[in-house]
Amino acid sequence: MALGLRPGVLALKDGTVLRGRAFGAAGSSDGEVVFNTSLTGYPEILTDPSYAGQVVTLTAAQVGNYGITEADLEAARPAARGLVIRALPEVVSSWRAERSLEDYLSAHGIPGLCDVDTRALVRHLRTAGAQPGLLWSGHPGQAPDVDALVARAATLPTMHGQDWVTRVTTPTAHAFAEPVAPLAGEPPVFPVLPRPQVRPHVVAFDYGAKRNILRLLVSAGFRVTVVPAATSAQDVLAQRPDGVFLSNGPGDPAACTDMVAEVGRLLGKLPVFGICLGHQLMALALGARTYKLRFGHRGGNQPVQDLATGRVHVTSQNHGFAVDPAGLPPGLSVSEVNLSDGTVEGLRAPGHRAFSVQYHPEAAPGPHDTRHHFLAFRRMVLGLEPEEGLPS
CA atoms of 223 and 219, how far apart (whole Å) = 10
Query: Mean per-residue pLDDT for 319-325?
Result: 98
269-318 pLDDT tens trace? 999 999 999 999 999 999 999 999 999 999 999 999 999 999 999 999 99
- Predicted confidence at residue 389, as pLDDT, reads 43
| Class of 7-154 in CATH | alpha beta
Q: By percentage, how much of the chain surpasses pLDDT 70?
A: 97
Q: How many CB atoms lie within 10 A of CB 71?
A: 10
Q: Which of 276, 316, 306, 314 is nearest to 386 (CA)?
A: 306
Active-site residue, from 256, 276, 279, 345:
276
pLDDT, averaged across the chain: 95
88-112 pLDDT tens trace? 999 999 999 999 999 999 999 999 9
**Length of the chain in terms of residues written:** 392
**CB contact at 8 A, 221 and 193:** yes
Active-site residue, from 44, 336, 362, 373:
362
Q: Which of 369, 371, 359 is nearest to 316 (CA)?
A: 359
Q: Grade residue 191 by pLDDT with cuts at 50, 70 and 90.
A: confident
Q: Grade residue 181 by pLDDT with cuts at 50, 70 and 90.
A: confident
- Predicted confidence at residue 5, as pLDDT, reads 74
19-64 pLDDT tens trace? 999 999 999 999 999 999 999 999 999 999 999 999 999 999 999 9
Query: Mean per-residue pLDDT for 223-234?
Result: 98
Active site residue 276: yes
Q: By percentage, how much of the chain surpasses pLDDT 90?
A: 89
Q: Where are the domains of the chain?
A: 7-154, 165-382
Active site residue 360: yes
pTM over 0.85: yes
- Predicted confidence at residue 288, as pLDDT, reads 98
Q: Grade residue 390 by pLDDT with cuts at 50, 70 and 90.
A: very low
CA atoms of 358 and 281, how far apart (whole Å) = 11
CATH topology of domain 165-382: Rossmann fold (3.40.50)
- Predicted confidence at residue 68, as pLDDT, reads 98
Q: Grade residue 4 by pLDDT with cuts at 50, 70 and 90.
A: low
Q: Which of 51, 106, 101 is nearest to 81 (CA)?
A: 51
Flag whether pLDDT at 164 surpasses 60.
yes
Active-site residue, from 313, 352, 360, 373:
360
Rounded (5°) CA angle 71-74-80: 125
**CB contact at 8 A, 376 and 388:** no
**Residue 137 identity (one-letter amino acid):** S
Flag whether pLDDT at 336 surpasses 50.
yes
Instruction: Provide the CB-side half-sphere exposure for 93 (13 A, CA).
Output: 7
Active site residue 319: no
CA atoms of 161 and 256, how far apart (whole Å) = 9
